[in-house]
Amino acid sequence: MTGNPEDPPNTRSNVIDPLGPLLDEFLERFRAGENPSISEFVRRAPEYELEIRDLFPTLATLEQAGDGDGGTFGANGSIVPGIKLHRLGEYCILREIGRGGMGIVYEAEQESLGRHVALKVLPNYALFDPKHLHRFHREARAAAQLHHSNIVPVFGVGEDRGIHYYAMQYINGLGLDAVLNELRSSRFSSDRKKKDVHRVKTSPETERLFVESPLLDQPRCKSVNNSLEKNNASSKRGSEEAIGPVVEPNSVVITNPESVVTSASDTNYYRNVARLGKQIAGALSYAHSIGVLHRDIKPSNLLLDAQGQVWVTDFGLAKSVGDDLTHTGDLVGTLRYMAPERFRGWSDPRSDIYSLGLTLYELLTLQPAFDQKDRTRLIKQVTQDFPIRPRKIDPQIPRDLETIVLKAIEKEPSVRFQSAEELEADLIRFVDGRPIHARRASTYEVLALWCRRNPPLATLTVTVCLLIVCLAVGGILGTWRLRAENTKALRNLARATKAESRERTARQLADLHAYDALLATARARRWSGRPGQSFQSLKAIEQAASLVGNDLTQQQVLDLRNEAIAAMTLFDVETDVRHEQSPTVHASHHRWAYDSGIEKFASTDNQGKLVIRDLKGLQVVQTLPAMHTDAESLPYLRYSPNDRYLGARGVWDDGKLAVRIYDLWSPAEPIFSQDIIGTIFQRNLEFSRDSSLCVYASGYQLIVLQLVPTVEVLHNLQLEHETDFVCFGPTNEQVLTGREDKLTQVDIMNFTSPRTLPMPERVIDADWSPDGRFIAAGCRDGSVIIFDTRKDYNSRKITDGHRNEVRYVQFDSKGSWLLSTSWDATTRIWDPFLSQEVLCIDGTASQFSETSEMLSFELANSLVGRWRTSANAVCQSIWGLDHRGEIVDIDFSSDGEYMVTASRFEGLTMRRLNDRTVIAQWRPYYETRNARFSPDGQSLLTSGSGRVDRWPIEVIRQGDIEKLLQRRQTLASGDVNFPTEMDITADGQLIASMYFDNVRRIQTAGPQRGEDCSDIPVSNRTENLMDIQLRGHNSAWFVAISPNGRWGVSTGKGASGFQVTDLENLDHAQEVQSVSLPGSYLGLLAFSPDSKQCICSTSTEYQVFDTSTWTKTASISRAITGVGEAQFSCDGRLLALEDQFEIRLLDAKTYQLQAVLPGPLGEQLNSGYPEGAGGLRFSPDNRYLAVGTQRNTVQLWDIEKIHQRLQVLGLDWLHEAQTENLTTRDYLSD
């Protein structure tokens, strides 16, 4: 066996020390003659800076101490450079067997006694540091006084030629660090857990650990090969503790070179480790008994010889008071085995026990207890951390042996074995298989000891734990309290929820009652005929809608929507400006003048000054140089329509009755002034509608005054009587004058004979409608008489209105409404065509604004103000010639510019749609039936008594009826005056008609086959008509043709169904189906724009058919029995159905009711029989829906305006995105 010196720095294993490669490189370069920089190696391994700066200079010194032969220290065994040692005193040096930082160990022979010894020599360089020499002698003395079978004895100390040395017993064996390295490198160390058998070559010392030997004194190896000279010096692994020959681990000859190590040897291994520990503990017990502490127990200082005996070496730190923490050449290895208290500056025998425990730990686990390489981290690990329990690394380690080791390496000395003898005794018990006395520290003891070692951290930990406990206790108490509070809160919440539910139910019930009340209020106001019938009704509807909100049912929404639409059709007023106290303004009884916008008015103040005031604030904005002096009356004032001129008739500051005209643009002086004859109460002063003329009366004279370009009197007309009032007609040529029971129409330009209108009562005031059709006269008996100039001045007397004298009458700017005021302190609004009252207002109205949106008023207690009107309603009435008759058909031109109506007994009327102006009116038939614009807009197709005609549009626009009748083109005719039904296709190429002889005739308006007439207008292709006749039903009256020209359908009120004809092949057109609809009157037919649906009106319902199969897809009940019209919108989205007094709008796909359109004046729409159904038509842009009535009027519904107003109320049936831009008139398109 060989001694086991500690690895020198240049050959240390990288497993133990990562500085090995750097040490090798440093020595190799130093030996090659370089002078390597220490800083270079620090930069390469900064984490080992302290070790490098401490160790590398020492290595350089040791190398320089060698002789010149080898060039390095220890290469040839030299101590002093240039001198090769062969003898020291009586010792003959045989060879070097080890080296270390503090000395070299040689094998030598003591010639005087003839024995092998190990000679430890102190290098010459160490003499420079007295501490090294002192330590050398101290080590020799300490070892010399120890006499134990497990402690290497010292034979003597000497000095020769300045070289200090001492001689020890030569031990033939290995250091335990070498044994550990061999075990780690063998396969056994990694595979013994697997229970497999492996063959490994090991040294006898190592194998001794795996064989059963009670005293480890029965070696299984043969004698040592004494040919030590053959051993390579380069393989030396010595340290200053080595005391035996250098031998390779595998060089020992064993009985069986390939020994078998099995799992059965594991038990022997652990037991033999315990035996080794027992020997070391015994040696330490002996040393401690004589007061010597080793202080550096570690594997490299323990030698195992071939007989299995352990020898404790290197007492260099024994009783040392110097460098306790560092050991030259073995910095990291020494720190790893030091007891924690050593770092606190003290030690005792328990410190050696701790180091022995770590050695045993490493033998059991084959890994160090602390493996940090960094010095700082290693110290922290040694002093604070606990190593992993051995059985966690290898579960086969006996539990008792683990307990002994863990007790030996406790951080606190008081918990360890208190003496090496105690440790030795427990190890003996383990080896003998008896119970050990050691026990593991309890958790409480471990915690208490840890606190003692780490007071600050322990205090912090205890504080944190107490805080956690407090928090936990507080949390538990808080949780209990919160749970109680939560339970209480949940109970309260449940009670509150129930209460809230009851309250919500009560509120919903109250809202429902409020909804019903508001809806009833809206209906009551609408039917009241009093102010608020529209405005207040809509406010109640809006309030009802917002009150219920999203909880409205579909029927409730529909009810509110229909009620809102009905209210939107009514004329109404609401206060816009009202002055409760106006002391400077007296009641004028229609003598004050208002401008066209009802923004300002002219009056006199208390001093008689003529002033103009702002109506909203009553501030004086202009004062005129005039003073009215008649204290018993007021002047009569009139604004010109353009608001430039102000006419005044009264008694002025000169005491004379005079007429004065003021130009308000330069009001310094009147531009005209003339004394007149008359009374102060007469109102015979008026301006023309274009503000270019002014007429006034003086006695029996009527003076016409020109205002532009110069002010001059044009005419002075002599009247047959004085006049109390005067008003202009629609032009500057005609005026009306009135006096007593005479109402006279005077031509002031052509001087024709005046026309006197018969008046049954004294006329008080009169007005002429803007279109010149109506003249209204207010009478003393409270009646209003209306003359129709288009019906030869036929008059109608309204007697069921005012109860006292009518003081004032006026048409609005459009002629749609007529107001009358009376001494009964009421104002009534009338429909002049139907002579029907639409509103009764308490108070005296003065004047409509230019747009009819404002109406001024004066109340009896000198209050003035203005009302806002609903004149721009969603439905406008368009009148026929006479209210006795019915509108049976309506159509719009393709460009939306014109509308034509067919009155059954009054003929045809074409109007301009934008202003409703009549362009032409004529009666071509005794009984008119249909009117259709051609798709190209060049002609109008009509049907009536036995005829179908075409009329050129350009002639109609001229209004020359005589010329129009001459240009009439008859497409078909008969001999009787039976009404002929007609329909055309969307492109105008096919015309279907039903004649008195029940023959359906299909005519083409296109060219003959093979003839190119694409450049010829449709209206001029009459010579190319093709005629196909089909026999119809005996009772068939009505006919319809699909827009695509595929289908022709006919029926009648006496028929039991309708007949369908396929017109796709005109040459072979034939009836394909007869649809039976028994039990009801049949009437009008209509197709959808895409020709996919056909709807037939019966006396009880509307029936919808799918034209692809002609099967019924829907039945829609009528509100009131009777046959009515049906019409699809031009985009096919809406379906309009005509009931007796209202129009229903349905979704054309789902047939769901969307809205109901009631007439504003309650006109009947049809007479209940098929031929009496009113006309019904959508405009091409779907904005308007025109409805004919039985009173010869047309209800023109503005669908776009309905959507706008419903959207404000939140009741529109269209999606919001579809109504964002209604002005584009495509609100029903995608």
Amino acid at 727: C
pLDDT of residue 74: 40
The continuous run of DSSP H or E covering 169 comes out as: strand 163-169
| Domain-located, residue 563 | no
CATH number of the domain where residue 587 is located: 2.130.10.10
pLDDT of residue 28: 75
Q: Are 652 and 629 in contact (CB under 8 A)?
A: yes
Q: Looking at 812-946, which runs of residues are DSSP E strands?
A: 818-822, 826-831, 836-842, 844-848, 854-858, 864-869, 875-879, 887-892, 898-903, 907-912, 918-922, 930-933, 939-944
Residue 942's DSSP bridge partners are: 931, 949
Amino acid at 986: A
Q: Looking at 314-385, which runs of residues are DSSP E strands?
A: none
Instruction: Say whether both 162 and 199 belong to one domain.
Output: no
Q: What's the domain count of the chain?
A: 4
Instruction: Say whether both 207 and 149 belong to one domain.
Output: no
- Whether the pLDDT of residue 283 is over 90: the answer is yes
CATH number of the domain where residue 402 is located: 1.10.510.10
Range with the lowest mean pLDDT among 57-66, 143-152, 483-492, 601-610?
Answer: 57-66
Strands 1070-1076, 1057-1062: pairing is: antiparallel
Instruction: Say whether both 148 and 227 belong to one domain.
Output: no
pLDDT in tens, 554-577: 888 999 999 999 999 999 999 999
CA-to-CA distance for 591 and 847, rounded, in angstroms?
A: 11
Q: What does the block give as tokens for 90? A: 């009586």
Amino acid at 298: K
Q: What does the block give as tokens for 214? A: 């009670």
Q: Apex CA 793: angle with CA 788 and CA 794, to 5°? A: 80
| Domain-located, residue 485 | no
Last residue of one domain, picked from the residues 138, 169, 200: 169
Instruction: Say whether both 156 and 190 belong to one domain.
Output: no
pLDDT of residue 1004: 62
pLDDT of residue 5: 35
pLDDT in tens, 691-717: 999 999 999 999 999 999 999 999 999
Instruction: Say whether both 995 and 1106 belong to one domain.
Output: yes
Stretch 1206-1228: mean pLDDT: 59
Instruction: Say whether both 948 and 1073 belong to one domain.
Output: yes
| Domain-located, residue 59 | yes
Stretch 1049-1073: mean pLDDT: 75
Share of the chain above pLDDT 90, in %: 38
**From its phi and psi, is residue 494 left (phi > 0), alpha (psi between -120 and 50) or beta?**
alpha
Range with the lowest mean pLDDT among 688-692, 795-799, 1020-1024?
Answer: 1020-1024
CA-to-CA distance for 20 and 331, rounded, in angstroms?
A: 13
Instruction: Give me Rg for the CA atoms of the chain.
Output: 65
Range with the lowest mean pLDDT among 20-29, 572-581, 850-859?
Answer: 20-29
Instruction: Say whether both 129 and 198 belong to one domain.
Output: no
Instruction: Say whether both 65 and 134 belong to one domain.
Output: yes
Instruction: Say whether both 164 and 194 belong to one domain.
Output: no
DSSP 1104-1164: EEETTTTEEEEEEE-SSSS---EEE-TTSSEEEEE-SSEEEEEETTT--EEEEEE-TT---
pLDDT of residue 975: 63
Q: What does the block give as tokens for 326? A: 């560092």
Domain of 916, in residue numbers: 877-1224
CA-to-CA distance for 623 and 611, rounded, in angstroms?
A: 4
Q: Which of 229-238, 730-739, 1013-1022 has the highest mean pLDDT?
A: 730-739
pLDDT in tens, 510-549: 878 888 899 999 999 988 889 989 999 999 999 988 876 6
pLDDT of residue 219: 33
pLDDT of residue 581: 57
- Whether the pLDDT of residue 1063 is over 50: the answer is yes
Range with the lowest mean pLDDT among 10-14, 534-538, 826-830, 1077-1081?
Answer: 10-14
- Angstrom CA distances, 1008 to 324, 907, 936, 991, 1013, stand at 131, 33, 20, 15, 9
| Domain-located, residue 484 | no
Instruction: Say whether both 750 and 611 belong to one domain.
Output: yes
Instruction: Say whether both 770 and 887 belong to one domain.
Output: no
Last residue of one domain, picked from the residues 126, 146, 169: 169
Range with the lowest mean pLDDT among 196-200, 725-729, 948-952, 1134-1138?
Answer: 196-200
CA-to-CA distance for 941 and 968, rounded, in angstroms?
A: 10
pLDDT of residue 83: 55
| Domain-located, residue 661 | yes
Q: Give the Cβ contact number of residue 369 at 10 Å.
A: 21
pLDDT of residue 234: 32
Instruction: Say whether both 165 and 228 belong to one domain.
Output: no
- Whether the pLDDT of residue 814 is over 50: the answer is yes
| Domain-located, residue 479 | no
pLDDT confidence bin for 506, thresholds 50/70/90: confident
Residues 6+ apart with CB under 8 A from 1004: 989, 990, 991, 1024, 1025, 1026, 1066
Last residue of one domain, picked from the residues 169, 191, 215: 169
| Domain-located, residue 1172 | yes
pLDDT confidence bin for 550, thresholds 50/70/90: low
| Domain-located, residue 898 | yes
Q: Looking at 699-773, which runs of residues are DSSP E strands?
A: 701-706, 712-718, 725-728, 734-739, 742-747, 755-758, 763-768
pLDDT in tens, 388-430: 999 999 999 999 999 999 999 999 898 899 999 999 999 999 9
CATH number of the domain where residue 151 is located: 3.30.200.20
